[in-house]
Amino acid sequence: MVAAPPPVYVEHQQAKKVKNHVNLHKDSLRVEVDEENEDCYLVSFVFDAMFDGSITIYYFAKEEPNCKFVPVYPEAFVPVKVPFQKGHAQRFKQSSGTGIDLGFFELDTLSKPSSGEDVYPLVICAEINVPLISPDEHHYIPLPNTATTPHMQITQAVLEKNNDNPFKVKVMRQILWIDGVRYELREIYGISQSEEKFDDAGSGEECVICLTEPKNTAVLPCRHMCLCSECAKALRDQSNKCPICRQPIEELMEIKINTNDR
């Protein structure tokens, strides 16, 4: 009998905490008919911002180095940049007359990104300038604009339409650009009670292995938050399959959770 090969070594990392000072609620993103220009559509959504900033709307924008975006069809739509003030749960809607006639584009082109996934039909960039923080990390220093650090959240989406139904926005990806570093936002299944669930497996707060300790470790790339740190360490030496979906494990990510935020 041939012995089974040892499990593949899986890296175990601790998550790094990143402060996101501006956030677009992706479930609120819509395109609506401009009542004064019925051939055109306006973008609307809800967002939070801890500092003043601006929102820029692009159609068919290509991502370039350093999270810069360039419109592929500048003659069809000039990017719209709108300033905003800080605030929670603000509703944004483009002003009438600044929208786009989506009839210029094929529905198939609107419904998917480019083959290289660097051009998306709808790109929304929310940008703020965060003042530098004092050494005690509790007070922001009121310095000139040159002493601020740009933070951006980029939302990339496609536009789907079936028959005579209205356009539906589907968010494909959200990106953070913070202090010159690019982060891609991903859902973690099991991190809260409101997350999308797979057959309710692993939807409780306890580790699915020991059933006693709180889960604090996510499995990547499937993103199931289902293990405590001790069971994750043991699993790393015994198996390379996610306990929930049985997909191969490439990495384990330990995440510190503030239970007050659940």
The per-residue pLDDT for range 133-165, each reduced to its tens digit, is 544 555 555 545 444 567 999 999 999 998 888
Q: Which residue has the tokens 């669930």?
A: 197
Q: What is the DSSP letter of 204?
A: S
38: region left, alpha or beta (phi > 0 left; psi from -120 to 50 alpha): alpha
Q: What is the mean pLDDT of residues 9-17?
A: 63
Give the pairing type, strands 148-160 and 87-93.
Answer: unpaired
Token digits for 47? 């967002």
Of the candidate CATH numbers 3.40.640.10, 3.90.78.10, 3.20.20.70, 3.30.40.10, the domain formed by 188-261 belongs to: 3.30.40.10
Give the pairing type, strands 22-24 and 119-131.
Answer: unpaired
Q: How far apart are CA 41 and CA 80, in angstroms?
A: 13
Range name among 21-35, 90-104, 133-147 with the lowest pLDDT average:
133-147
Largest CA distance in the chain: 77
In 3D space, the residue among 50, 105, 43 whose CA is nearest the CA of residue 80 turns out to be 43
% residues pLDDT > 90 (the chain):
43
CA angle 156–157–163, rounded 5-degree value: 170
Q: Is pLDDT of 1 > 70?
A: no
**Model pLDDT, residue 40:** 93
**Model pLDDT, residue 190:** 73
Range name among 2-6, 64-68, 94-98 with the lowest pLDDT average:
2-6
pTM: 0.74
How far out from the chain centre does Cα 197 lie? Answer: 18
Q: What is the DSSP letter of 72?
A: S
**Model pLDDT, residue 149:** 64
Q: Are the C-beta atoms of 113 and 159 separated by less than 8 Å?
A: no
In 3D space, the residue among 124, 122, 111 whose CA is nearest the CA of residue 160 turns out to be 111
**Model pLDDT, residue 234:** 86
Q: Is pLDDT of 223 > 90?
A: no
In 3D space, the residue among 197, 202, 258 whose CA is nearest the CA of residue 231 turns out to be 202
Q: What is the mean pLDDT of residues 254-261?
A: 65
**Model pLDDT, residue 179:** 84
Q: What is the mean pLDDT of residues 1-10?
A: 53
Q: Are the C-beta atoms of 37 and 96 separated by less than 8 Å?
A: yes
Q: Are the C-beta atoms of 227 and 243 separated by less than 8 Å?
A: yes
Q: What is the mean pLDDT of residues 106-111?
A: 94
Q: Is pLDDT of 254 > 70?
A: yes
Q: How far apart are CA 232 and CA 70, in angstroms?
A: 43
Long-range own/partner contacts, residues 3-9 (CB < 8 A, 24 or more apart)? 7/236, 7/237, 7/238, 7/239, 7/240, 8/240, 8/248, 9/236
**Model pLDDT, residue 102:** 92
| Mean pLDDT for all residues in the chain | 83
Q: What is the mean pLDDT of residues 4-18?
A: 60
